[in-house]
Chains A and B, each alone.
Chain A
Amino acid sequence: MFNYILKRILYLLVIMFIISILTFSLSRLVPGDPAEVILRSSGVEPTQEAVESMRENLGLNQPVVWQYIDWLGGILQWDFGRSFTTGRPVIQEIWYRFPATLELALAGVVVMFCLSFPAGIISAVFKNTYLDHLGRFLALVGASFPSYWLGLLLIYFFGVQNSLLPVMGRGTGRHLILPAFTLGLGMAAVYARLLRANLLEVLNQDYIRTARAKGLSEKAVVLKHALKNALLPVITAFGVNFGYLLGGTVIIETIFNWPGLGKFVVEAIFNRDYPVLQAYVLFMALVFVTINTLVDIIYGVLDPRIASERRN
């Protein structure tokens, strides 16, 4: 297991290196000159001279390869550069906003688990009954709801009509409820369907018949013998999706004015804020790869067959 983890970490470093090159090149390929954007936004006429001196200031006059080496060298010393627009170190900006995004994403995941697990299990156990049809109908509706529309509906009902819950900004736990629910509902629908399908497949397996032949109650059969087997594909899907989730809270952050990373990055894109963009992509890549590694490790814990393949 230790060797396996070590190997995964080496892979991770290689992947991160390749991503750093891609990120750097892509951000340079975006049309538009950051020097010009900065000058315009601070109200200065972008004359040839002013642009030149701004470019020199930002280090953009260097050859691209040098810029990359410079940037990479900085990263190795945990220096991701300064934002072109705010002038503060990028790493600070990200660390400042990341907790808000993480909090929202995690809360969304909690909502997702709380809704999808009971729904998926009930749907599978009571297959083709009224309960199952209702669950599947709700899942279909939930998956089809665009999140911005659901968000607006929730704001209207809970904020405007009844003022039961705060709808803007971050602060108390109550602030979290609406955005987390908006984020979690769509995912819950998808996971409920996934869990139902997996459970139904597992419930047809021979070892489930064995469990029943032992005299186990239906509850023990489903929750002990079937669920653990049905979870494997769900965990994989979740591992992939959690990365998307962190990167995909942009719309919800905008609707609920949530001071997270998503909003910040959208602004950075408009401002051609290279250091912020590069650091963000690199950061998200790290999150993705780390989560995938974690999922692989969890997989080994859940399914002993995978763990023994690794040993060999």
Chain B
Amino acid sequence: MSKTNILEVNNLQTHFYTKEGIVKAVDGVSFEVKAGETLGIVGESGSGKSVTATSIMQLLPASAEIVAGEVDFKGSNLLSKSKAELQKIRGNEISMIFQEPMTALNPVYKIGNQLAEVFQLHQQLNKKRALKEAKDLLAKVGIPSPQERLEEYPHQLSGGMRQRVMIAMALAAEPQLIIADEPTTALDVTIQAQILDLLQNLQSKFGLSLIFITHDLGIIAEIADRVIVMYAGQVMESAAVETLFEEAKHPYTQGLIDSIPSLNYSRESLVSIKGVIPDFFELPAGCKFSNRCDYAIKKCFQEEAKLELANKGQLLKCWRWRELERKGLGDGDVLTGS
């Protein structure tokens, strides 16, 4: 394990057991997070990004199970830890920010109580000192009149304020890694920008690593150092953020980038990837993206490609990336199957 990697995920597989059968929500995902960097995980709804995050924290619903893989955090595998050991890590060394600020806070306890809990738990502070720390932290995440907020209940706060409380909660124990699962999706655009700024500031201030999960490539461009693109529970492409936006090689990534609306285009030319992410029980046999891919050839439907290393540390799961790289993607010059 490299010294600079704080987290290494190897061949993670998380399955859901449903009445219809087994859903491979995370299907052999590997990636690493370096100390102090921001890793963006991007993909459509149902691509397995959130399940990957909750698998790292082992906060999966009862119907899900991690069936294989390793999650090495600072050199030791989280998957082989006991419940008590995990509880010491959660909220303390790794913390999480969730998508739904409206429902992620307990409606029947005051903000101060819920925030102080983290200090009481991980730093063994008494209630009074914990509340004092909670107040300082609320000020740090930009909440006005923090003393009064401590005495308020979640329903008295706006969505943006609640997400700030969630961020404060995640920061409370000064963790080394924060996993943010679509933290801005439920918020207004102006509040989104504020929350992103806040996260970036706090990250550089505390030097923490961040896994940022989103379906919004615009946010990825702004916040991430490296990006992994997920589709149907698998990593399709992974690259440094500049490389990804300039030289995306996977047809899926290219499709995602082309789908970003631009002011230069007329309304008619709004581009989207054809079709929707298929039902997990109707995934194609070969490459999971083959049935939506403009460049799919016979081989794509039959056999799954392995992740291959291209230059600049870019990883690709596609049979045709070399060909497509030579000919260039998206010029209307659709290659015919060979």
Give min CB distance, B16 to chain A, whole Å: 15
Q: Judge whether A215 and B89 touch: CB under 8 Å.
A: yes
Does A206 interact with chain B (Cβ within 8 Å)? yes
B1 contact set on A, CB distance < 8 A: none
Smallest CB gap from B88: residue in A: A215
Does A54 interact with chain B (Cβ within 8 Å)? no
Does B76 interact with chain A (Cβ within 8 Å)? no
Bound CA span A308–B153, Å: 10
Does B90 interact with chain A (Cβ within 8 Å)? yes
A225 contact set on B, CB distance < 8 A: 106, 109
Say yes or no: A213-B108 contact (C-beta < 8 A), given A305-B153, A308-B155: no
Q: Judge whether B108 and A228 touch: CB under 8 Å.
A: yes
B75 contact set on A, CB distance < 8 A: none
Give min CB distance, A203 to chain B, whole Å: 9
Q: Judge whether A305 and B104 touch: CB under 8 Å.
A: no
Does A85 interact with chain B (Cβ within 8 Å)? no
Residues of B in contact with A, size category: 35 or more
Q: Judge whether B98 and A308 touch: CB under 8 Å.
A: no
Q: Judge whether A210 and B105 touch: CB under 8 Å.
A: yes
Bound CA span A246–B87, Å: 46
Q: Judge whether B59 and A213 touch: CB under 8 Å.
A: yes
Q: Judge whether B118 and A214 touch: CB under 8 Å.
A: yes
Q: Judge whether A304 and B96 touch: CB under 8 Å.
A: no
Give min CB distance, A230 to chain B, whole Å: 10
List B78-136 residues whose CB lies under 8 Å from chain A. Answer: 83-84, 86-92, 95-96, 98, 100, 103-110, 117-118, 121-122
Q: Judge whether A214 and B91 touch: CB under 8 Å.
A: yes
Main SS at interface, chain B: mixed
B62 contact set on A, CB distance < 8 A: 127
Q: Judge whether A308 and B104 touch: CB under 8 Å.
A: no
**Of the candidates A204, A229, A308, which one forms a contact with B108 in the assembled complex, judged by CB atoms under 8 Å apart?**
A229
Bound CA span A210–B109, Å: 13
Tell me the number of A-to-B contacts counted with CB atoms below 8 Å: 77
Give min CB distance, B61 to chain A, whole Å: 8
Does B302 interact with chain A (Cβ within 8 Å)? no
Give min CB distance, A305 to chain B, whole Å: 5
B169 contact set on A, CB distance < 8 A: 210, 214
Smallest CB gap from A217: residue in B: B87
Q: Judge whether B103 and A206 touch: CB under 8 Å.
A: yes
**Of the candidates B61, B91, B104, which one forms a contact with A215 in the assembled complex, judged by CB atoms under 8 Å apart?**
B91
**Of the candidates A204, A207, A218, A228, which one forms a contact with B104 in the assembled complex, judged by CB atoms under 8 Å apart?**
A207
Q: Judge whether A207 and B103 touch: CB under 8 Å.
A: yes
List A188-215 residues whose CB lies under 8 Å from chain B. Answer: 204-207, 209-215
Bound CA span A211–B59, Å: 10
A210 contact set on B, CB distance < 8 A: 98, 104-106, 166, 169
Bound CA span A128–B60, Å: 17
**Of the candidates B103, B105, B108, which one forms a contact with A303 in the assembled complex, judged by CB atoms under 8 Å apart?**
B108
Q: Judge whether B92 and A215 touch: CB under 8 Å.
A: yes
Does A302 interact with chain B (Cβ within 8 Å)? yes
**Of the candidates A216, A305, A308, which one forms a contact with B87 in the assembled complex, judged by CB atoms under 8 Å apart?**
A216
Q: Judge whether A215 and B106 touch: CB under 8 Å.
A: no
Q: Judge whether A207 and B59 touch: CB under 8 Å.
A: no
Give min CB distance, B175 to chain A, whole Å: 10
Smallest CB gap from A305: residue in B: B155
Does B57 interact with chain A (Cβ within 8 Å)? yes
Give min CB distance, B113 to chain A, whole Å: 9
Does B201 interact with chain A (Cβ within 8 Å)? no
Bound CA span A214–B86, Å: 11
Does B204 interact with chain A (Cβ within 8 Å)? no
Q: Judge whether A212 and B90 touch: CB under 8 Å.
A: yes
Does B262 interact with chain A (Cβ within 8 Å)? no
B88 contact set on A, CB distance < 8 A: 215
Does B156 interact with chain A (Cβ within 8 Å)? yes
Q: Judge whether B121 and A211 touch: CB under 8 Å.
A: no
Smallest CB gap from B118: residue in A: A214
Give min CB distance, A213 to chain B, whole Å: 4
Bound CA span A211–B169, Å: 10
Say yes or no: A305-B107 contact (C-beta < 8 A), given A215-B88, A216-B117: yes
**1/0 contact trace for B286-308 toward A, CB 8 Å?**
00000000000000000000000
Q: Judge whether A213 and B155 touch: CB under 8 Å.
A: no
Smallest CB gap from B173: residue in A: A215
Say yes or no: A213-B90 contact (C-beta < 8 A), given A218-B83, A305-B153: yes
Say yes or no: A213-B107 contact (C-beta < 8 A), given A304-B153, A304-B155, A308-B155: no
Bound CA span A211–B87, Å: 11
B109 contact set on A, CB distance < 8 A: 225, 228
Q: Judge whether A207 and B87 touch: CB under 8 Å.
A: no
B104 contact set on A, CB distance < 8 A: 206-207, 209-210
Bound CA span A310–B89, Å: 41
Q: Judge whether A209 and B108 touch: CB under 8 Å.
A: no
**1/0 contact trace for B160-176 toward A, CB 8 Å?**
00000010010000000
Bound CA span A217–B59, Å: 13
A305 contact set on B, CB distance < 8 A: 107, 153, 155
A-B contact list, 22 entries, CB within 8 Å: A206-B100, A206-B103, A206-B104, A209-B98, A209-B104, A210-B104, A210-B105, A212-B90, A213-B90, A214-B121, A215-B89, A215-B91, A216-B117, A216-B121, A217-B84, A225-B109, A229-B106, A229-B107, A304-B107, A304-B110, A308-B153, A308-B155
Query: Interface residues, chain A, CB within 8 Å of chain B?
Result: 127, 204-207, 209-218, 225, 228-229, 302-305, 308
Q: A214-B169, A304-B153 are in contact. List 4 more A-B contacts (CB 8 A).
A: A214-B121, A229-B106, A305-B107, A305-B155
